[in-house]
Amino acid sequence: MNKPVTASQAPQPIGPYNQAVWAGPYLYISGQIALVGQTGQLRQENIMAETEQVMHNLGHILQAAGLDYHHLVKCSIFVTDLEHFSAVNSTYATFLPEQEAPARETIQVARLPKDARVEISAVAYRAEA
């Protein structure tokens, strides 16, 4: 049975889904955009600020599940322009050092919710004791 995870500091879902769901030892985190949890406003100063907010949102959800960034095993990054790859990558790397980084892909898409420029979904793993 799947068990939802809700993080009060992360933005609430903007559709019929949960922020994250446990399936056994795996936590599946829904795609996060740069919505600020407290205001619901999209952080848009630049692509690095957007990516930073997305990573903070992922961190809030991980924390609500009793995990941290080191538990991530897979991330999917969606961007509206691959010209932003370098800036997204450098910001992402400040949260996930290369030697501990999860598997990942980066995909250019035509459009994202609320006209965000970056969205990241993730899978985390917690070894069962």
CATH 3.30.1330.40 assigned to 3-125: yes
pLDDT at res. 127: 87
Question: Is residue 76 predicted with pLDDT exceeding 90?
Answer: yes
CA distance linking residue 101 with residue 122, whole number of Å: 12
Q: Considering the chain, what percentage of its residues have pLDDT values greater than 90?
A: 89
Domain map of the chain by residue range? Answer: 3-125
Question: Over the stretch 88-97, which tens digit does the pLDDT of each residue have?
Answer: 999 999 999 7
**77-87: buried (b, 16+ CB within 10 Å) or exposed (e) per residue?**
bbbbeeebeeb
What is the percentage of the chain residues whose pLDDT exceeds 70? 98
